[in-house]
Amino acid sequence: MKPPRGSRNLCSPPDRPGHLLTVEGLSGTGKTFLTTRAIARLGSRAPHVLDDFSQRLGRPDLGSRIVTELAATGDRFLRSGLPQSETLLLLAVQMHAYETALPHLHRGHDVLEGRSVHAVAVYQAVLRHPDDPNLALTHARMLIELAAAWRPLPDRVLLITDDVPAALARAEARDGRPHNYEELRLHHLADHLFTCLAAEDQVRFHILDRRTTPPGRALDEVTRWCG
């Protein structure tokens, strides 16, 4: 998949006063837990918050309808057997999120969009190349470049990392559903890809490692990052 001929590369910062923020990481790392409490702390200084993927099911807007249809199979990775179509649909959700954020950004408000372009790139790449980390990373980079031809990448990305089995155990307790062996492998590979992308783009990414950060300090760090 390539950007359309003549499309404008939107990787450079767009001409708008607000900043686009996103929080990435595996399920169970505490993205929602920490950001919800950070937003409550910030009060009127908090960024405007868009719905995360996990909060979109059943909502009436276009992005939510796409996610709801893809989730109808019950697959954790939204697989329906048509991987390229699924990737394009998920990138369309990201375009919809950016269009939703634009009015707030132009008014000078920061916007937190939950999982964003990097999550789509990582998870679609691990599904395409589950047995080859190098090919998966190359594919993730290609998808980020493709997405950036249609909408700007987030200005700042907070990547929350943790011990993968511990994070997935939290996700299982939350969802009431265990991961199978294949799902565990895919999440481990996704964790590797997130870490690689963050190392390649240290200006955009900030990493919060919950393995080495006490809970109170983790909340303080997320609050500072959001504010």
Q: What is the pTM of this model?
A: 0.89
Note whether residue 209 is domain-resident.
yes
Identify the pLDDT of residue 60.
62
Structure confidence by residue, pLDDT tens digits, 3-58: 443 333 444 456 778 999 999 999 999 999 999 999 999 999 999 998 654 454 55
Structural domain contains residue 5: no
Span 81-90, pLDDT tens digits: 899 999 999 9
In this structure, is residue 115 part of a structural domain?
yes
Q: What is the mean pLDDT of the chain?
A: 89
Q: Which run of H or E residues covers position 118?
A: helix 117-128
- Using an 8 Å Cβ cutoff, are 158 and 208 in contact? yes
Residue 97 lies in a domain: yes
CA distance 56 to 159: 21
For residue 6, being part of any structural domain is answered with no
- Give the integer Cα–Cα distance in Å for 68 and 180: 22
| Structural domain includes residue 10 | no
Residue-wise pLDDT for 46-81, tens only, equals: 999 986 544 545 556 777 788 888 878 888 898 988
**Tokens describing residue 22:** 């996103």
User: Which pair of structure tokens corresponds to residue 113?
Assistant: 């969009």
With respect to residue 12, please indicate whether it lies within any of the assigned structural domains: no
Q: What is the pLDDT of residue 184?
A: 97
Mean pLDDT of 205-221: 96
Provide the pLDDT confidence category of residue 210 given band limits of 50, 70 and 90: very high
Question: In angstroms, rounded to a whole number, what is the distance separating the alpha carbons of residues 84 and 51?
Answer: 24
- The number of beta carbons lying within 10 Å of the beta carbon of residue 58 is 10
Give how many domains the chain has, as a whole number. 1
| Per-residue pLDDT at 7 | 37
- Cα 69 from Cα 51, distance rounded (Å): 17
Residue 213 is part of a domain; what is its CATH number? 3.40.50.300
Both tokens of 163, joined, read: 């011990």
Q: What is the largest CA-CA distance in the chain?
A: 49
What is the reported pLDDT for 198?
98
Are 149 and 9 in contact by the 8 Å Cβ rule? The answer is yes
For 133-190, the pLDDT digits (tens) are 999 999 999 999 999 999 999 999 999 999 999 999 999 999 999 999 999 999 999 9
d(CA 184, CA 175) in angstroms, rounded, equals: 15
107 part of a folded domain: yes
Give the residue carrying structure tokens 């989730």. 71
3-state secondary structure 167-220: HHHHHHHHHCCCCCHHHHHHHHHHHHHHHHHHHHCCCCEEEEECCCCCHHHHHH
The answer to whether the CB of 48 falls within 8 A of the CB of 112 is: yes
Q: Which domain holds residue 177?
A: 20-226
